[in-house]
Amino acid sequence: MNELKRCPFCGEIPRTEVEVTKMGGGEDHVDFSVHCTNCGTFKIVRLKINGFVNFFDVEKAQEQVIQAWNQRAVTE
């Protein structure tokens, strides 16, 4: 897993959260978010799941949101 970069706007260390939502009818999903509690900047990845949510679904969502958060327009 990649390490999270600091917030690109205020420099604070972001937090991560995962939420598994049971919608019923095969529309379950995993939301994994990275957000800055200082300035409110955030990224969310939502994976729709058919059937049961497992560890690999959560890990995949986590990897995708960290990659999106760490992407910067300017190379550091």
- What pLDDT tens digit does each residue of the chain (76 aa) get? 578 999 999 999 999 998 877 766 666 778 889 999 999 999 998 887 766 667 787 888 888 899 999 998 876 5
Does the model's pTM come out above 0.85?
no
Name the residue ranges covered by the structural domains of the chain.
15-70
Q: How far apart are CA 59 and CA 11, in angstroms?
A: 25
